[in-house]
Amino acid sequence: MLPTRGYAVKSAKDAFEPFDFKRRTVGPKDVLIQIMFCGICHSDIHQVRNEWGGATYPMVPGHEIVGKVTQVGQDVKKFKVGDLAGVGCFVDSCRECANCKADEEQLCEVHTAFTYNGTEQDLKTPTFGGYSSQIVVDEDYTLKVSPKLSLANVAPLLCAGITTYAPLRRYHVGKGKRVGVIGLGGLGHMAVKLAASMGAEVTVFSTSQSKEQDAKRLGAKNFVVTKDPKNLVALADSFDFILDAVSAPHDINMYLNLLRLGGALVLVGVPEKPLELSAFSVIGKRRIVTGSLIGGIRETQEMLDYCAENNITADIELIPIQKLAEAYERTVKSDVRYRFVIDMNSLK
Ligand code: NAP
Ligand code: ZN
Ligand code: ZN
């Protein structure tokens, strides 16, 4: 077993503390990754605070992991020692069900082993995430990372990148499409960059007036402050696609009214309480409300390669791991520009 240092919380009310635990020894198909950077996703906060229920402790969060391969098993083909590698929101799945075979391992019909706050395929061994010094993952669940991009800025692609890329592709977002993005946080700012790079005309819907210039710099054409719903009236029936990346309860009906006939609103944000849906928001224009959960390994690799080709990474604030509490507070206040990333050099 491999002694590993991480940061964990012991309950929903506790602060982060250093936590020593063991990773499995490197198996024939495993790679050992020395973690260099790990992004802070709002899902980490929801789970640490048990806002979705069912949390298990001690919890070492973190599923936006990048680092360097320091050891490979004898049967590993994709990686060699010294390569850059990434790990996202899951580290294993059954590999045999219809969804796994369709490259949708995140939706495994048997068991997706989430990177933390989950269990391995034995349904017993707890998983610990990327707020830690190293991780052992099967090469099939490990991503190749291009050395072309700044590694710290790549980390958020492993969750915020794929979670926004997948629905944009699924709904054929591109030239001639009007796209709305609700919530300019970690996910939202990636959605703006990606949708703009695909040629769409992007409008950001935000509660934060102060983010207008950033939204335009990131690629948005329009910026709408949503605190006054009157600002939305003139935009009725004009969007093809809206991505909702809001982490807290909010009114989705006022955004549904902005979709044209058959347009879709995709929820990626996961507020802790159910949202209210008025039938009137969907019946008239046959609007679609759906959701999306991260993406499979094949598509995550496609997204990473797309970002390397198009020079797309996250805008980040790099922090030492000792600053987790402050980073969580600022994220909850919508005050992150636009993703906190932990510099794992600070983990001593
Ligand atoms: P984040 O960085 O905190 O961004 C959330 C944004 O939502 C904020 O920046 C803010 O944008 C807006 N917002 C926050 N509170 C609001 C409120 N009360 N009313 C209206 N808008 C509000 O979070 P994130 O990491 O991007 O994650 C966003 C959500 O997606 C979280 O719920 C997370 O768990 C979920 N998530 C889902 C998946 C998936 O696979 N489906 C993957 C990752 C994350 P403005 O300042 O612009 O208003
Ligand atoms: Zn995430
Ligand atoms: Zn499966």
Give the confidence band of 215 by pLDDT, cuts at 50, 70, 90.
Answer: very high
Residues near ligand 2 ion, CB 5 Å cutoff:
41, 43, 159
Q: 329-344, pLDDT tens digit by residue?
A: 999 999 999 999 999 9
Q: 115-159, pLDDT tens digit by residue?
A: 999 999 999 999 999 999 999 999 999 999 999 999 999 999 999
Two structure tokens written together for 7: 């940061």
Residues 6 or more apart whose Cβ sits within 8 Å of residue 13: none
Q: Is the CB of 250 under 6 A from ligand 1?
A: yes
Atom of ligand 1 minimally distant from the CA of 247 = 32
The pLDDT, as a whole number, for residue 348 is 77
Whether residue 343 contacts residue 335, with contact meaning beta carbons closer than 8 Å, is answered with: no
Q: Is the CB of 295 under 6 A from ligand 1?
A: no
Among 40, 42, 276, name the best residue to mutate to test ligand 1's pocket (greatest count of ligand atoms within 8 A of Cβ).
42
Q: Read off the pLDDT of each residue in 211-240 and give the average, rounded to a whole number.
A: 96
Q: How far apart are CA 30 and CA 12, in angstroms?
A: 32
Q: How far apart are CA 279 and CA 76, in angstroms?
A: 52
Phi and psi at 62, nearest 5°, equal 115, 110
Find where tokens 């990434």 sit: 86
* 171-193 core/surface letters (b: 16 or more CB in 10 A; e: else): bebeeebbbbbbbbbbbbbbbbb
Helix (H, G, I), strand (E, B) or coil at 327: helix
CA of 307 to the centre of ligand 3 (A): 27
Q: How far apart are CA 45 and CA 61, in angstroms?
A: 9
Task: Specify the residue with its C-alpha closest to ligand 1, atom 13.
Answer: 246
In order of their start, the domains of the chain are 2-156+315-346 (3.90.180.10), 161-291 (3.40.50.720)
CA of 109 to the centre of ligand 3 (A): 5
pLDDT > 90 in the chain, percent? 99
